[in-house]
Every structure is written in structure tokens, then in C-alpha cells.
Structure 1
Amino acid sequence: MALKSTIYKADLNISDMDRGYYADHSLTIARHPSETDERMMIRVLAFAIHASEKLTFGKGISDTEEPDLWEKDYTDAIQLWVEVGQPDDRRLLKACGRSDKVLAYSYASTSDIWWKQMNSRLDRAKNLRVMNVPAAASQALAKMAQRNMQLQCTIQDGQIWMTAGEDSVQIDLETFKAD
């Protein structure tokens, strides 16, 4: 019998002063049995950074044809495709062909090694941005994971703060590839 996803709920308050976006989102997050708390929280972070009315979680890890997050317009054209982790170059290049903009968020301590292998293969992708969440920040985010979460995300001048109760983490993203 296959293991089922674990459902997490998050009330996410976003104050993104850089974009002028202020909203509350009630998220239902299906955590695949093979997914870690760290990866799930990076998905939540990516949602907070790119939040909009049309941004939704995709099937991601359980479906090779869908990203972790995506935003479609009213014609079903993909405007934003977000991958989390260390996807292979074929997956990212295929996403670049299907979407207006593609973002990848790596987060493991091996991200530098992964990027050195991928860099030359992804050079030609003009609509791809690759960001890295430092290991200390991603591990601190993982500690915030609860089945029911109250999260506050504040973004100002490119700096990101995620807060859950008394716990807070500052996330300074590293740019591996700018679009």
C-alpha cells in the first residue's frame, strides 16, 4: 500500500514592501512521504516571495510534469514555474520552454557542487533564475514546520524574514543565476 501525503495547514501573512504586496493566505500543503520538512518550508518560502492570487502549489515531487509552484494566466499559459531543490538541467530547460519565467530554489549544503555542474548547461536559458537558500536558514525554516502553522513573512530591500511565534529567521538569498 502506498503512503499518502501528510496535510499541513499554514496561515501566512505576507508584507512584501519591495512589491507592495500585503495579503493573508490560508495554505493547504500536501507533504509527499519522501519530502523533508526543510523542502516543504522552502516551498512555503517560495510561495511567500512570489505570492499572488493565481500562484498555486503544483504536484511537484510526485509528478514530473508539474512544478512545485506555478502561476497561470486566464488562458492557462504558464507565467511562472518554480522548482525547489536541485533539479536536473533537462527539467529546467523543458520548464523554460513551457513558461515565461522559471525560478529554481536550491537549499542543500551541496548546492554549490550542484550549481557548478549545472551552470554551463543552463547558460542559454534566458528566462531562468537560480537562487540558493543558505543551509543555516533552510534548517531554521525546517524547525518551524508544524501541522498547523501561523507564519509571518516580511520582505524589504531584498531581505526576507520568516516568523513563527517566537522563532524568526532572516533569509539572505544567494543568486546563482540572474535572468
Structure 2
Amino acid sequence: MALSSTIFQFAVQLADVDRGVYESLELRVAQHPSETPAFMLTRLLAYCLEYREGIAFTEGVSAGDEPAILVRDLTGQITGWIEVGQPDADRIHRGSKVAADMAIYTHRDPAQVIAQCAGKRIHRAESIPLYSFERGFPESLAKTLQRRNSLSLSVTERQLYLDLNGQAFETLLSEQGLAQSAQ
């Protein structure tokens, strides 16, 4: 018998000063049995940091050819493709061809993602940002995770100030590009 996903609820107060986005969100996030809490929290943070009209979680690891997060316009056209973790070069290449905007968020060492893409053909690699958090950040968040969560996220000059269930956290969101690894 297959294990089912665990559902987490998040009441999110988002204040992204960098982009001028201020929202109150009620999110239900499914953690697939093969996902770590750090991966699931990276998906949640990526959703918040990329938040705009038309954004949605996909079936993720359950749907092999979709990214973790998609953005669609009013016609249903895919405009944003957001990968999480350590996607392979083929997924990045395909996503970059499908959507005008592409981003990768990783909870791992970004050098691993870049190394995995080294020498591979990736469409528009020079325009794909790779975002990462300070080492151990998602893992420390996971220690305070509950089934029902209160999350306040403020972003100023790529510095994240986060309150999860009454505990304060802070990290810098680093950005690197894939251009050095692609042909």
C-alpha cells in the first residue's frame, strides 16, 4: 500500500518589499512521502518569493514532467516555471523553452546544481537565476513545523525575515546563474 501525502496548512503574511508584493495567503501544501521537510519548505518559500497572479503548486514529484510551481496567464499559457531542489539539466532546458520566466530554488549547495549542469545544453541559461538559502536554513525551519502553521515572511534587499509558529529566523537569499555551466 502506497503512503499518502501529508497536508500542511500555512497562514502566510507576505511582505516582499523588493517586489512591492504584500499579501495574506492561506496555503495547503502537500508533502509527498519521498520529500524531506526541507524540500517542502523550499517549495513553500519559492512560491512566496515568486508570488504573482496565476501561480500554483503542481503535483510536483507525482507529476514527472511538471516543475514544483507553475505560473499561468489568464489564457492558460505557462509564463513561469519554478524548479525546486536539484533538477537535472534536461528539466531546466525544457522549462526554459516553455516559459518566459524560469527560476530554480535549492535547499542544497548551489555548487551541486551548477556542477550537475556543467557542459549541458540549457536554453537561455544565462537568464536563469539559481536561488539558495544559507546552509541549514530550511532544516532549522523544519524543526518548528506543525500541521497548522502561522508564517510571516518579510523580504528586504534579498534578506528574509521569517517568523514560523512564533520562532524568528533570518537568512540571505543568494542568487547565482547557470550561464557558467551551460554551453
**What stretches of structure 2 of length at least 5 have no aligned partner?**
none
Please report how far the alpha carbon of residue 113 of structure 1 lies from its aligned counterpart in structure 2 after TM superposition.
3.0
SS at match of 1:43: helix
Please report how far the alpha carbon of residue 57 of structure 1 lies from its aligned counterpart in structure 2 after TM superposition.
0.5
Aligned to 1:114: 113
Please report how far the alpha carbon of residue 127 of structure 1 lies from its aligned counterpart in structure 2 after TM superposition.
4.0
| Mean CA deviation greater in 124-133 or 56-65 | 124-133
Aligned to 1:172: 172
1:76 aligns with 2:76: yes
Aligned to 2:150: 150
Please report how far the alpha carbon of residue 167 of structure 1 lies from its aligned counterpart in structure 2 after TM superposition.
1.3
Please report how far the alpha carbon of residue 144 of structure 1 lies from its aligned counterpart in structure 2 after TM superposition.
3.1
Which structure 2 residues correspond to residues 8-87 of structure 1 after superposition, within 5 A? Answer: 8-87=8-87
Contact 2:160/2:172 (<8 A) preserved: yes
Using the size of structure 2 for normalisation, the TM-score is: 0.89
Contact 1:100/1:127 (<8 A) preserved: no
Please report how far the alpha carbon of residue 17 of structure 1 lies from its aligned counterpart in structure 2 after TM superposition.
1.2
| Mean CA deviation greater in 124-133 or 151-160 | 124-133
Contact 2:9/2:149 (<8 A) preserved: yes
Cα deviation digits, residues 90-149 of structure 1 (max 9, x gap): 01100111111111111124x423322314424842442211222221222222321110
Contact 1:81/1:99 (<8 A) preserved: yes
Contact 1:41/1:145 (<8 A) preserved: no
**Partners of 1:91 and 1:178 in 2: CA distance:** 13
1:129 aligns with 2:135: no
Q: 1:113 to 1:53 in 2, by over 3 A?
A: closer
**What stretches of structure 1 of length at least 5 have no aligned partner?**
none
Using the size of structure 1 for normalisation, the TM-score is: 0.91
Cα deviation digits, residues 65-85 of structure 1 (max 9, x gap): 211111100111111111110
CA RMSD of aligned residues (A): 1.8
Contact 1:105/1:131 (<8 A) preserved: yes
